[in-house]
Structure 1
Amino acid sequence: MIESYVKLTINNEIGYIEFSHPNRNSMPSDILSQLAKTIKEAGNNNTIKVIVLKSGGDRTFCAGASFNELIAIEDAKSGKTFFSGFANVINEMRKCPKLIIGRIQGKSVGGGVGLAAATDYCMATKYASIKLSELSIGIGPFVIEPAVTRKIGLPAMSQMTIDAETFFSAEFAKEKGLYADVFETTEELDEAVNTLATKLASYNPEALAKMKAVFWKDTEHWDTLLTDRAKISGELVLSKFTKKTLKRFR
C-alpha cells in the first residue's frame, strides 16, 4: 500500500506541495498538520515565488476528513482538535504571502472542496466534481464554509450543503467561480498550471504579496472564526445520529 505523505518540491522558483493518502487522499490529523506546516514553510522560503497545491494519483483530489479518525473521536476536545486541522490549513493558505494555484485532477468531497476554495487560483479537469456531504452524516461544512462561500457565493454553497449527496460537476464549479478553467485531460491541466505558475514566478514578488493581501481583505478574523467552527463540528460528531451514521463506513 502506498504510504501517506506531504512533500515540497521546488523547480524554477515554483514550490509544488503534494499530499497523498491511500484512502482517496483523505485527510487524517497528521496529514493536515504536515500540510499546514509545509504551506507555512513554503511561504517563508525566499527561493519560492509561487506555490502549486496538488494531490497524488490521477483520480480523487481529496476525499475530505478521515472517517476512521472521525469514528474514533470520543470527546468534544478531541473533536475540536481534529476539525481545527482543516482550520489551520485554510488559515495558513490565507496568510501565506505567495499566491497558491490549485491543481484539481479529480473529485473533491467536504474538506477537499475547502482546500480548493482556499487557493488563489484553481484549475481542474472535467472529472473534478465536488460534493459537500457533511449534513448527510450529521455534521456540516462549518469550518470550510467561509472559504467556500467566499469563492462561490452563499446561494451555491447553500445548494451544495443542502443537496449533500450529490456530486456537482466541474462545469458547475467553474460557473460558480471555484475553478478558473476546466480541461479535458490531466496533461492539459498540468500544462496550464505550469504555464501560469511560470509566468507568476517571473512577476514582482512584492506586488504579488500585496495583491494577495487585497484578495483576502477582511478575513483577519478567520483565526478565531474557523476555530469556533471547529468546536461546533467537534461537538456534532459526538451526536447519536452521527455516531450511528459513521458506523456504516467502518
Structure 2
Amino acid sequence: MTPPHVKQHIANGISTIEFFHPAHNSLPGDILAKLANTITEAGENKDVKVIILKSGGDRTFCAGASFKELISINDAETGRVFFSGFANVINAMRKCPKFIIGRVQGKTVGGGVGVASATDYCMASKFASIKLSELNIGIGPFVVGPAVERKLGLTGMSQIAIDANTFYDAEWARAKGLYAQVYESTEELDEAVQAFAENLCTYNPEAMREMKKIMWTGTENWDELLAERAVISGKLVLSEFTKETLKRFK
C-alpha cells in the first residue's frame, strides 16, 4: 500500500504537488502541514512559474479531515491546532505568488472542497462531485467556508453547507464557478491540465503575480479570520453531539 505523502515534481517551470493518504486522501495534521509548506516553497522557487495541485489515486480527490484525528481530539486547543491545518493550507494557497491549477479527479468532501476552492483555476472530471458534510457530524464548514463562498457565492455555499448529506455533481459545481471545465475521463483531465499549465508558462510571470494579488483582494484578513474559525470548530468537535456521531461513523 502506498504510504501517505506530499511530493513535488518540478519540470519546465511547472511544479506538480501531489498529496495522498490511503484513507480516501483524508488529511491528517502532518499532511496538512507538509502541504502548506510545500506550496509556500513552490511559490518562492524562481524555477517555478505555475503550480498544479492534485491528489494521488483514481477515485477520491480528498475526503476532508481525518476521522481518526477528529475522534482523538479531547481538548479545545488540540481541536484548534487541527483545524488550523486547513487554515494554513488555504492561506498558503492564497499568498502563493504563482497561479495554482486544481486537478480534481474524483469526489471531494468537507475540507477537500475548501482546498479545491482555494485554487486559482480548477479543472475536474465528471466524477468530481462535492459535499460539505461538516454539519452532519455537528461541526460546520467554518474554516473552509470563506474559500468556498468566494468560489460558489453565498447562495451556493449555503446550499451545500445546509444540505450536508448530498453530493452535488461536477456540472453543478462548474455552473456555480468552482470548476472551469469538466472532462469525461481522468485521462482527458490530465491532458487538459498539463496543456493549460504549459501555456501559462509562456506568459509573463510578473503579470501573473500581479493578477493573483488583484484576484485575492479583500482576503487580507484571512490569517485572523480562519484562525478564529478554527477555534469555533475546535470547540464544536468536543460537543456531545459530535462525539457521539463520530463514534457511529467509526
> Is TM > 0.5 for Structure 1 vs Structure 2?
yes
Q: Moved runs in structure 1, 4+ residues, more than 4 A?
A: none
Aligned-partner Cα distance in 2 for 1:11–1:128: 27
- Equivalent residue number for residue 188 of structure 1: 188
- Equivalent residue number for residue 135 of structure 1: 135
- Equivalent residue number for residue 31 of structure 2: 31
- Equivalent residue number for residue 97 of structure 2: 97
Residues paired across the two proteins, number: 250
Q: For 2:58, what is the secondary structure of its paired residue?
A: coil
Identity %: 68
Aligned-partner Cα distance in 2 for 1:73–1:126: 35
- Equivalent residue number for residue 22 of structure 1: 22
- Cα deviation, 1:189-238, whole Å, max 9, x if unaligned, reads 01110111001111110000000001100100000000000000000000
- Equivalent residue number for residue 144 of structure 1: 144
Aligned-partner Cα distance in 1 for 2:232–2:178: 25
Superposition RMSD in Å: 0.4
Q: For 1:122, what is the secondary structure of its paired residue?
A: strand
- Equivalent residue number for residue 158 of structure 2: 158
In the superposition, the TM-score normalised over structure 2's length comes to 0.99
- Are residue 236 (structure 1) and residue 236 (structure 2) matched? yes
- Equivalent residue number for residue 71 of structure 1: 71
- Equivalent residue number for residue 178 of structure 1: 178
Note the 1:218-229 alignment, pairs <5 A: 218-229=218-229
Amino acid at match of 2:49: K
Amino acid at match of 1:79: G
Q: For 1:100, what is the secondary structure of its paired residue?
A: strand
Amino acid at match of 2:154: L
In the superposition, the TM-score normalised over structure 1's length comes to 0.99
Amino acid at match of 2:13: E
CA drift at 1:142: 0.1
Unaligned 5+ residue runs, structure 1?
Answer: none
CA drift at 1:2: 1.8
Amino acid at match of 2:156: A
CA drift at 1:249: 2.0
Aligned-partner Cα distance in 2 for 1:155–1:125: 24
Unaligned 5+ residue runs, structure 2?
Answer: none
- Are residue 2 (structure 1) and residue 2 (structure 2) matched? yes
- Equivalent residue number for residue 107 of structure 2: 107
- Are residue 81 (structure 1) and residue 81 (structure 2) matched? yes
Q: For 1:153, what is the secondary structure of its paired residue?
A: helix
Aligned-partner Cα distance in 2 for 1:162–1:86: 20
Q: For 2:166, what is the secondary structure of its paired residue?
A: coil
Q: For 2:18, what is the secondary structure of its paired residue?
A: strand
CA drift at 1:76: 0.3
Aligned-partner Cα distance in 2 for 1:205–1:158: 36
- Are residue 169 (structure 1) and residue 163 (structure 2) matched? no
